[in-house]
């Protein structure tokens, strides 16, 4: 039965992996049947799988890149078979997988979950042999790993009812695809006012609209466009067949960005286009059949928009494209523009205090100076975070006053509507 399967997942660290799945198995038990069939079906869906080919052939040998492969994998599928625990390599893999604190999808292949958890049956015999060779601390580490994985919900081949192994493999592949689409991004240490901004953006995206929509997020540098976009992604990505955030600022190659986008949409890790024009044509063909969420973060030129922002008429029903930029003229392709607002005085003080004091209110004796610095930042989150963090380790009032002077000297105009000091020399906006 397919259920929720987690092992203390840290959602802040779930992107940027070399492999989607690390497949752990005892070659002698499953190399010619279940494991090879599962591997083939995963790859067929465009899932990048680490599987030690030598181990598949010989049933034992571990490749030299094993440690890095485990560290570089987003999730793990241990195929726990009758003879799994007889291999120190398999047991060490299991220990390392659990240490990563990521998604683990265990398959109890012709072995009872309780036997794995309590090391009974053939697992007990395996440990009796291990006791002759290994230190008790090593044995306890292995036992703990088996107990932990035995507590996870997974698939038991002996309890499948009328379903066969092909049905089981289909369920596993479906679950992996589902998990891969659940990547979440780190938003902020102190996400002040982020939720309210996301709520406003959700209304603009209008999830009830069955058509496709393209929305722009506009604001000066440092105001939180990326933070809001990531929070939005975390909230709605699971509603789409494919989803991705492209950080345009980190790549100078439009072709590289096109390939990244296409690989995510198609789930084909080997897809490659060699020039921008071809990339646009391929995107037009591949994107029309899937409901996608694409966030283009940090657009700076029309070339980027033309190469990466799919036209509305190309999109499948329900698709959403979000473009963040500090340049309003680049957002003429969108349906609507969401302008990110500066933090108000209360929000600015709250965020400043969290970074400067580690609390939500100023310390005694620092109320007035904290309010003055927070106000002088102009409600720009990155500016508030910068000055607050710099003052975290000092309670010298002279240093705080010097900091206030630096902030005030760097401003170049007063916002007439809010009557708030704005530090626009720290905030670039065209």
Spatial separation of the C-alpha atoms in residues 104 and 107, rounded to whole Å: 10
Spatial separation of the C-alpha atoms in residues 39 and 77, rounded to whole Å: 10
Angle (CA) 187 189 194, round 5°: 55
Nearest to 144 by CA among 187, 177, 96, 108: 96
SS3 content of the chain, % helix, strand, coil (to 5): 50, 15, 35
Which one of the listed residues 3, 54, 60, 93 is annotated catalytic? Answer: 93
CB-CB contact of 324 with 338 (8 Å): no
- Which three-class secondary structure state does DSSP give residue 188? coil
* Strand stretches in 303-366, DSSP E: 320-325, 336-339
118 is a catalytic site residue: no
- Which three-class secondary structure state does DSSP give residue 155? strand
Handedness of CA 191, 193, 194, 196 (dihedral sign): positive
* Strand stretches in 11-141, DSSP E: 19-25, 49-50, 73-80, 103-104, 107-108
Question: What are the residues facing 244 on neighbouring strands?
Answer: 294
CB-CB contact of 20 with 74 (8 Å): yes
Query: Per the structure block, which two tokens stand in for 384?
Result: 């508030």
Query: Could you give the residue numbers annotated as active site?
Result: 93
């Amino acid at each position: 039965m397919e259920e929720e399967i987690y092992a203390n997942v840290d959602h802040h660290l779930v992107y940027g992996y070399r492999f989607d799945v690390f497949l752990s198995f005892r070659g002698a038990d499953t190399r010619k049947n279940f494991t090879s069939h599962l591997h083939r079906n995963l790859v067929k869906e465009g899932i990048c799988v680490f599987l030690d080919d030598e181990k598949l052939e010989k049933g034992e040998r571990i490749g030299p890149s094993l440690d890095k492969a485990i560290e570089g994998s987003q999730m793990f599928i241990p195929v726990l078979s009758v003879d799994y625990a007889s291999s120190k390599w398999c047991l060490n893999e299991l220990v390392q997988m659990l240490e990563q604190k990521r998604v683990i999808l265990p398959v109890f292949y012709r072995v009872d979950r309780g036997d794995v958890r309590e090391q009974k049956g053939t697992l007990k015999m395996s440990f009796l042999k291990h006791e002759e060779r290994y230190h008790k601390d090593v044995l306890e580490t292995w036992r703990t790993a088996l107990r932990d994985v035995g507590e996870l919900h997974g698939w038991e081949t002996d309890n499948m009812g009328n379903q066969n192994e092909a049905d089981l493999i289909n369920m596993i592949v479906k679950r992996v695809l589902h998990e891969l689409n659940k990547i979440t991004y780190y938003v902020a240490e102190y996400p002040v006012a982020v939720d309210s901004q996301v709520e406003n953006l959700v209304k603009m995206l209008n999830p009830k609209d069955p058509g496709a929509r393209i929305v722009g997020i506009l604001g000066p540098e440092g105001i939180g466009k990326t933070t809001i976009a990531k929070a939005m992604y975390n909230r709605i990505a699971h509603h789409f067949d494919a989803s991705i955030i492209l950080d345009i600022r980190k790549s100078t190659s439009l072709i590289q960005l096109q390939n990244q986008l296409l690989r995510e949409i198609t789930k084909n890790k080997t897809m490659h286009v060699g020039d921008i024009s071809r990339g646009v044509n391929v995107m037009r063909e591949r994107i029309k059949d899937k409901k996608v969420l694409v966030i283009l973060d940090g657009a700076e030129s029309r070339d980027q928009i033309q190469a990466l922002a799919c036209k509305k008429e190309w999109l499948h029903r329900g698709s959403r494209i979000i473009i963040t930029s500090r340049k309003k003229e680049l957002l003429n392709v969108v349906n609507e523009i969401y302008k990110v607002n500066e933090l108000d005085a209360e929000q600015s003080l709250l965020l400043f205090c969290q970074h400067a004091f580690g609390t939500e209110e100023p310390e005694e004796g620092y109320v007035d100076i904290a309010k003055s610095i927070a106000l002088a930042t102009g409600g720009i989150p990155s500016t508030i975070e910068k000055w607050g963090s710099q003052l975290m380790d000092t309670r010298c009032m002279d240093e705080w006053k010097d900091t206030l002077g630096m902030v005030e000297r760097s401003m170049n105009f007063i916002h007439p509507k809010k009557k708030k000091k704005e530090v626009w020399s720290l905030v670039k906006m065209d």
